[in-house]
Amino acid sequence: MLDAAAPGQYGLEGRISHEHWFGWFSWSLARALATGPQDRSIDRLHAEIQDVMNNLGDLVGVRSPGSRMKAAGAVRENAVLGGDRLEAGGRPTADRAWANAEFIGSGEVLLEQGSLLGAGPGSLWAVYPPDTSSFTAEAILATAEVTGHDGDDARAKLDGGGTVPAGSRAVLLAPAPPPTTVSVWLRRVSGPGGETLRDALSASPRVKFVESARGARFIVNIDDRGCRVYGPGGLQLVEEFQEVSLEETTARLLTRFERSVRLAHLQAL
């Protein structure tokens, strides 16, 4: 059994991929399944899930809750997909997580439920023939770049146009490029300096303001107790300091926001 958090901890959720919100554990599980072989052990999968959750925590400046696994020692060595112990040469049906790639005309394919497998705008996918189970470079029919979404499905433009057969499968080749901006909600800024702070932060190309917690990477509160910066959903305090001046407050906030963007770029390397 895999859990989102240990007893006494909160599970986290936030806007991780384009406009969609996910639980951190659910997103990390989907990412781990999408980017590794399906014949790995459950023990290894759990370690990869925790790595993704830790990276999310570094990205937004909060401490990630630890996912939890409960399994007998023998079960921990089983393949992720399939209940039997791994055998020499034994493999599950497909060696990677894949999405149905349906041709929708005008040189585009629809990656069904693609957003759950990391199909963010700008991500690159390899398209394979129907029923492919071993996704090798030699078998690629085409590559496609994600341009938008229809709910959880992703629209992708085929390089060079053309078409692909019905029932084609697609796997992730390269993730979406990292964000260049940070969404910030100034939830409460007491006193007459609120608009001045907003204007000062607006001078940075990194800052994009939102008007609610939904979609905010950081939430800022300033009152007589000082400045407090929260992570997604306002669940965790990531920084707190006593407000001294507009210049110092602006500088400290921009340092926090800039670090988030730099971490995203480093993790994309």
- Regarding beta strands 207-209 and 182-189, do their DSSP bridges make them parallel or antiparallel, or are they unpaired? parallel
Q: Which two tokens stand for residue 171?
A: 């796997």
The mean pLDDT of 185-206, rounded to a whole number, is 80
Number of C-beta neighbours around residue 7 at 10 A: 6
CATH no., domain 182-268:
3.40.50
Question: What is the share, in percent, of the chain residues with pLDDT greater than 70?
Answer: 70
Rounded Cα distance between 269 and 265, Å, is 7
Q: What share of the chain is helix, strand, coil (3-state, %, to 5)?
A: 30, 30, 40
The mean pLDDT of 3-25, rounded to a whole number, is 59
The ranges of the chain annotated as CATH 3.40.50 are 182-268
Instruction: Output the CA–CA distances (angstroms, integers) from residue 242 to 24, 226, 251, in the order listed.
Output: 31, 4, 13
Question: What is the share, in percent, of the chain residues with pLDDT greater than 90?
Answer: 20
How many residues belong to the chain? 269
Rounded Cα distance between 23 and 69, Å, is 17
Residue 38 has pLDDT above 80, yes or no: no
Band (pLDDT 50/70/90 cuts) for residue 139 is very high
